[in-house]
Amino acid sequence: MQTSQKLYLPTMGCGTWAWGNRLLWGYDESMDEQLQAVFNFCVSNGITLFDTGDSYGTGRLNGRSELLLGQFSREYLGSGKDNICIATKLAAYPWRLRRQSMVSACKSSAQRLGRNVDLVQMHWSTANYAPWQEGALLDGLADLYEQGLVKAVGLSNYGPKRLQCVYKKFTERGVPITTLQVQYSLLSTYPVTQLGVKEVCDQLGIKLIAYSPLGLGLLTGKYSEQGLFPKGIRGLLFRQLLPGISPLLVCLRSIAQSRNKTMSQVAINWCICKGTIPIPGAKSLAQAKENIGALGWQLDANEIAELDQIAASLDKKMVQNIFQTK
pLDDT at residue 57, rounded to an integer: 66
Q: What's the CATH code of the domain at 44?
A: 3.20.20.100
Question: 255 lies in a domain?
Answer: no
pLDDT at residue 30, rounded to an integer: 65
Please say if 93 is a catalytic residue. no
Sheet holding 177-183, edge to edge: 49-53, 85-90, 119-122, 152-156, 177-183, 207-211, 277-279
Question: 166 lies in a domain?
Answer: yes
Q: Which residues contact 14 (CB under 8 A, 6 or more apart)?
A: 42, 47, 49, 50, 279, 280, 282, 288, 291, 292
Question: 182 lies in a domain?
Answer: yes
Question: 237 lies in a domain?
Answer: no
Beta pairing partners, 211: 183, 279
Give the pLDDT means over successive 10-residue stretches in the chain (326 positions).
43 40 47 86 90 76 82 92 93 95 97 96 94 96 97 97 97 97 96 95 96 93 75 83 91 97 97 94 89 94 98 88 90
- Give the residue numbers spanning the domain of 188: 20-217+264-300
**Residue 313 burial (10 A CB sphere; 0-12, 13-18, 19+):** exposed
pLDDT at residue 4, rounded to an integer: 37
Number of domains present in the structure of the chain = 1
Q: Check 27, 56, 167, 190 and give the catalytic one.
A: 56
pLDDT at residue 61, rounded to an integer: 52
pLDDT at residue 63, rounded to an integer: 78
Question: 257 lies in a domain?
Answer: no
